[in-house]
Structure 1
């Protein structure tokens, strides 16, 4: 294979599916690492987000985030703070700003996932997903509040009134539940879960270098496959 063939292969679009929740700090960290890896390798990637709820049974009122983490994972206040500090430092190096506060709340995200699903055909799924991460972790917004969600949707160019209607009538509730069930039924119990080319599952935030290595291996596999034909 000559260099021209290699360059052509690198220009092929790599399909990347990400199963994620917008209140999962490791999901945005993992994405920013993946984004860096995509830049490092020079591939073209098509990213598709898929719904996962960390806390599908969370009440409408939510729960204090620190208390929720301590209860769910059995951690101490000191351990919880250490994780926050680590996340904040790690994300800062990736260009994302975590602003954890003592009154921050863990909330139900089912409404947010319905809105993301609606945004897909509008060409706004990706910017809305990122805007929701920022609204929650940077601005401390309640992602279970329809008016807040509608504002975020409008901020990425979606129709605010239609966003409210989507949330009010729940037109995408069933399909989002079905998609969540698909992923959990296929063994995904934690996020982020990154699926390359619909066949290679990588769990957790793996770091930009590891993602780069995975991408290069996949591109190499495709190039080798082409050269054999």
Structure 2
């Protein structure tokens, strides 16, 4: 099997990041000869921890300069895509904006127990499937439990500053590298694949990179 290292830069608040990961999983089933090591990296769409929460549709309308109806249609399109991938986006349009720094801290902690992906998926499900506030520490601790982690330990980490420096360094590193949108797939520390590409296209790109890496 051909080894590939994928550094996946994403945010819990990014629907396309959840779609991108699901498509990556499908791509890897199309390219079983690839042995992928995946590492999650932090990105913040809403970096202001003190910003008040806002209903997602007017927030997106203001951010992108489009009407709320246009944003509703765009979100509905994502919901349809997610449904085809088996992802729960049922509350996508009911969620509110939120800061995800603490959520990223839990992902870093989960990584020390080989459960980073499970933690990330639990967070996606809470935010997009339940419109839960993933800035709320009780919600985050429950997500940790759902990911198979110790809830009490998660609460202790959230009450401390554990992993904050690691998350801050992660965010700064990829900002300095020029990553301004997510998901961003960095392959073997050399190749960048931006956005949630279709599984067939992603599989072809990964195979091409793998073939160049072993030349």
- Distance in 1 of aligned mates of 2:92 and 2:109: 31
The residue number in structure 1 matching 2:56 is 65
Q: Secondary structure at the match of 2:89?
A: coil
Once the two structures are superposed, residues 4-26 of structure 1 have per-residue CA deviations (whole angstroms, 9 ceiling, x without a partner) of xxxxxxx1332111000011001
Shift of 1:94: 1.4
Q: Secondary structure at the match of 2:23?
A: helix
For residues 1-229 of structure 1, the aligned pairs below 5 Å read 11-42=1-32, 43-59=34-50, 61-100=52-91, 103-223=94-214, 225=215
- Distance in 2 of aligned mates of 1:102 and 1:221: 42
The residue number in structure 2 matching 1:3 is none
The count of corresponding residues between Structure 1 and Structure 2 is 214
Shift of 1:137: 0.5
Alpha-carbon RMSD: 1.4
- Distance in 2 of aligned mates of 1:188 and 1:62: 25
- Distance in 1 of aligned mates of 2:160 and 2:17: 28
- Distance in 2 of aligned mates of 1:102 and 1:125: 26
- Distance in 1 of aligned mates of 2:188 and 2:22: 19
Cα distance, 1:157–1:200 mapped onto 2, change above 3 Å: same
Structure 1: unaligned runs, 5 residues or longer: 1-10
Greater gyration radius: 1
Output the TM-score relative to the length of structure 1: 0.89
- Distance in 2 of aligned mates of 1:101 and 1:136: 8
